[in-house]
Amino acid sequence: MKILIVGGSGGIGSAMVKEALASFPDAEVHATFYTRNIMASSAHIPGVSWHRLDVTDEAAIKALSESFESLDWLINCVGMLHTASKGPEKSLSQFDGEFFLHNMRLNTLPTLLLAKHFSAKLKSSASPRLAVLSARVGSISDNRLGGWYSYRASKAALNMLIKTLAVEWQRSLQRGVVLALHPGTTKTRLSAPFQANVPEDKLFLPERVAADLMGIIARAEVGDSGSFLAYDGATISW
């Protein structure tokens, strides 16, 4: 089995890389990183083929796909919630167009580009999988608190892409499974500014999240394709 984890040097991503190695010792595990200084913190993970990738660069994604003859699982762990200067909007007055587009560029666009260029590589697999980290706040029907305009919109758009891709794969990649996964609030840099308000039993370590999500991906069947699932396997409404 050949697995590619995009964003493998991040908090959840590196845990997913380790979980893949542990759960599938015979698998060929590939992972991507963006900058060398981030990569340094993950370089100690042996048995992984690392690739530098800017997930917003379609030419780079195309080039990476062309280096693979085949692929079984593609897992996208890339995402953003805040920058050094801006965080999720508490009200409409804080909305900033550039921050909105930045959310879309990192949370939404990469999955579609990855699917576009790797679908052909997944076709030869007996059980192809494409899984992406989404978020419960991307659920339109579950939105009762408001705020977080840019992040919510980027994840809701991501969910629509996953659903739409699942429909196309029913025709073009009939054994394929596409999943949007909510990891829960995980103890990483992404959620660091917001962890103080999270109950202790709802703040998960990356290792626990990786084990949960990898299990969901492994157990998924064709009939599950296009699902939006939480870390515990529960279905989240769109």
Q: What residues does each domain of the chain span?
A: 2-230
35: confidence class by pLDDT, cuts 50, 70, 90: confident
Both ends of the chain: CA-CA distance in Å? 31
| Helix extents (H) in 108-238 | 109-122, 149-172, 206-219
Domain 2-230, CATH: 3.40.50.720
Which strand (E) or helix (H) includes residue 182? strand 177-182
Element (H, E) at 2: strand 2-6
The model carries a pTM of 0.92
What DSSP element (H or E) covers 14? helix 11-23
Q: How many CA atoms lie within 13 A of 1 on its CB side?
A: 17
152/149 Cα distance (integer angstroms): 5
Q: What is the mean pLDDT of the chain?
A: 92
* Measured CA distances, 165 to 188, 225, 238 (Å): 29, 9, 15
Position with higher pLDDT, 190 vs 161: 161
Q: What pLDDT, on a 0 to 100 scale, did the predictor assign at position 186? A: 78
